[in-house]
Amino acid sequence: MGGSPEIVQAVVTPVSVRRDGSFDGGAFHLDGTPIDQALHIRSQVNRIHSPCNLDAQFVQSLPADDRPHLFGGFLFNHFGHFLLESLGRLWAAAAAEHDLPVLFLPVWGVPDLRNPNHYMSAILTELGVSPERVRVLVSPRRFSSLSVPPQLYGFYHMRDPDSRILEFFMRAGQDRAPDPEQGGVDSKLYVSRSRIDIKLGRIAGESRFEDYLKTQGYEVMYPETLPFPEQLRKYRRATRIIFCEGSAVHSAILYCKTAAKIGVIFRRTDTEGWIKRFFNALGIEVTTIDAIVRHDTCGLSPHMGVSVVDFLRASERLKDQGFVDNVFFDWLSLRADAITSHYVDFINRVGGEPGFRHPKIVD
């Protein structure tokens, strides 16, 4: 899994994303060779490539920073990727001096960490790492002392995370006051995708399913509409949580001591494996609900596709597992209109995208 942080002299350059998904840039020894422990691993293949212009003259021309820094890795400006891929080295920040700057390389834009309600700021605060310690690098720089911890979390590490990163996740919420609403309340939460941009991937008819869940005592949460601290309060109060599969599931690392029953309704095929690995690694049992009828990508990226789920079958599974009391029989009469209207809205939104293929709309 990796050892102790490696302290090196280093040149750190901003990151750009190649067309194949690999990265150009990162942290390098002064001779221009990549620092092995700084490579960001998404699979068995290292995904960082050395820039071709890192020669001796370039290195010497860079401004030098003599203050020790901790290398945090890549700061993915996307909720799910941040939780999964940007926290893997921060276990070392918890043990380091509290004022030691944490150096990050931004991917997909530079976030506003001064906003306490920004999910990154809120998550860092929950984990006991002040956002004020974070330094986002946007131009090449030379460092006299860069501490590079091994990456202990991410796609490649999800199956069996190192105990150090799990202990770090357990820090979440340690300094917060007890929630007066915690305990004694049977709070049920459904985490929806029905109000996000339809091109980001949704399930046809999800709003009808939400209406049904409300009759079963569930509160419907739209994460994109709430400050992240408020989302966490809702998660921590809940005794039952049902997710529409997506990035929101990754928030579980911040309440991994939960005793809530958790279920995930799939909207894409081939996701059951990683969902189970993710929750099981956190010590959380999860009920998976695969009631997918089809998933139409329409020639686009799979995350943009239309998911059609048999909500009656999904509700039967939820009832069997103790999440609901009654099944969603009304879906039989609602599904045709719900599916058709979703496809129409989807086509109107993405019909002009390169590679788009018009789907056959069938019930």
DSSP letters for 32-52: S-B-GGG--BSSSSB-EE--T
Do the beta carbons of residue 245 and residue 303 sit within 8 Å? no
State how beta strands 292-296 and 187-191 pair: unpaired
Do the beta carbons of residue 252 and residue 272 sit within 8 Å? no
From first to last of its 363 residues, what are the pLDDT tens digits of the chain? 568 999 999 999 998 887 777 778 899 999 888 899 999 888 766 566 666 667 888 888 998 999 999 999 999 999 999 999 999 999 999 877 668 999 999 999 999 999 998 999 999 999 999 999 999 999 999 999 999 999 999 988 888 899 999 999 999 876 554 454 554 456 999 999 999 999 999 999 999 999 999 999 999 999 999 999 899 999 999 999 999 999 999 999 999 888 899 999 999 988 999 999 999 999 999 999 999 999 999 999 888 889 999 999 999 999 999 999 999 999 999 999 999 999 999 999 999 899 999 988 766
Q: How far apart are CA 126 and CA 351, in angstroms?
A: 41
- List, in order, residues 6 or more apart from 276 with CB less than 8 Å away: 286, 288
pTM metric for this prediction: 0.90
Q: How far apart are CA 62 and CA 30, in angstroms?
A: 11
**Residue 243, Cα to own-chain centre: how many angstroms?**
14
Going along the chain from its start, the domains and CATH numbers come out as: 6-169 (no CATH), 187-350 (3.40.50)
CA angle in degrees (0–180, nearest 5) for 25-28-31: 125
CA torsion angle 340 326 194 158 (round to 10): -120
Amino acid letter, residue 318:
L
Q: How far apart are CA 116 and CA 83, in angstroms?
A: 17
pLDDT at 344: 95
- List, in order, residues 6 or more apart from 331 with CB less than 8 Å away: 205, 208, 209, 212, 310, 311, 312, 315
SS3 percent helix, strand, coil of the chain, rounded to 5, is 35, 25, 45
Q: Tell me the two tokens of residue 71.
A: 């290398």
